[in-house]
C-alpha cells in the first residue's frame, strides 16, 4: 500500500469547495438568526478563503500566503475575475489581516462589511459551482 504525502489538486479542490459551502451556509444561517455581525463575518471570511483555495487547486496553483490579496493574486493568474469582486476581496484584508506576518490585525466588521462578505461568498459560490460539471 502506497501512501500519498500530499492530496491531489482534484481532491483539494473538492475538499475546499465542500468546506467553503459549509462555512458559507453556516454564515447565512447565522445571519438569518440575527447572530452578531462579527460572528457572521468571521464564518463567511473562512468561506471566502476556502473558495479561493478551491479555485487555486482547480487550476493547480497555490499562493505563498493565505491572506486575501495573495489568494486573489493566485486566482487571477489563471482566471479573470470581475474587478468589483476582486476589489471586494482585497478590501477584506483591511478588516481581517490575520494571515499576515508583517501586519497582523483583526478589526471589527460593521453591518456593511457583513453584507459585503455575504455577497462575495455568493459570487464565489456561483463561480466555483460553474467549474463543477455535476452542479451546472
pLDDT digits (tens, 9 = 90+) for 3-29: 556 788 899 999 999 999 999 999 999
The total of other beta-carbon atoms located within 10 Å of residue 106's CB is: 12
Domain ranges in the chain are 9-135
The span from the CA of 129 to the CA of 13, in Å, is: 11
pLDDT over 80 at 2, yes or no: no
pLDDT over 60 at 98, yes or no: no
- CATH superfamily of domain region 9-135: Nucleotidyltransferases  domain 2 (1.20.120.330)
Whole-number pLDDT of residue 93? 83
Under 8 Å between Cβ of 24 and 121 = yes
Task: Give me the numbers of helices (H) and strands (E) for the chain, helices first please.
Answer: 5, 2
Whole-number pLDDT of residue 31? 97
pLDDT in tens, 29-87: 999 999 999 999 999 999 999 999 999 999 998 877 778 888 999 999 999 999 999 99
In this prediction the pTM is 0.87
pLDDT over 80 at 122, yes or no: yes
Amino acid at each position: 500500500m502506497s501512501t500519498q504525502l500530499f492530496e491531489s489538486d482534484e481532491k483539494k479542490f473538492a475538499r475546499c469547495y465542500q468546506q467553503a459551502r459549509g462555512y458559507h451556509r453556516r454564515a447565512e444561517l447565522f445571519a438569518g438568526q440575527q447572530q452578531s455581525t462579527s460572528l457572521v463575518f468571521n464564518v463567511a471570511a473562512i468561506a471566502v478563503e476556502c473558495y479561493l483555495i478551491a479555485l487555486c487547486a482547480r487550476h493547480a496553483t497555490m499562493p505563498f500566503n493565505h491572506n486575501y490579496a495573495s489568494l486573489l493574486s493566485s486566482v487571477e493568474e489563471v482566471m479573470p475575475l470581475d474587478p468589483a469582486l476582486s476589489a471586494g476581496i482585497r478590501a477584506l484584508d483591511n478588516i481581517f489581516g490575520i494571515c499576515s506576518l508583517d501586519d497582523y490585525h483583526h478589526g471589527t466588521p460593521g453591518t456593511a462589511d457583513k453584507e459585503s462578505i455575504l455577497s462575495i461568498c455568493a459570487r464565489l459560490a456561483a463561480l466555483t459551482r460553474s467549474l463543477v460539471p455535476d452542479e451546472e
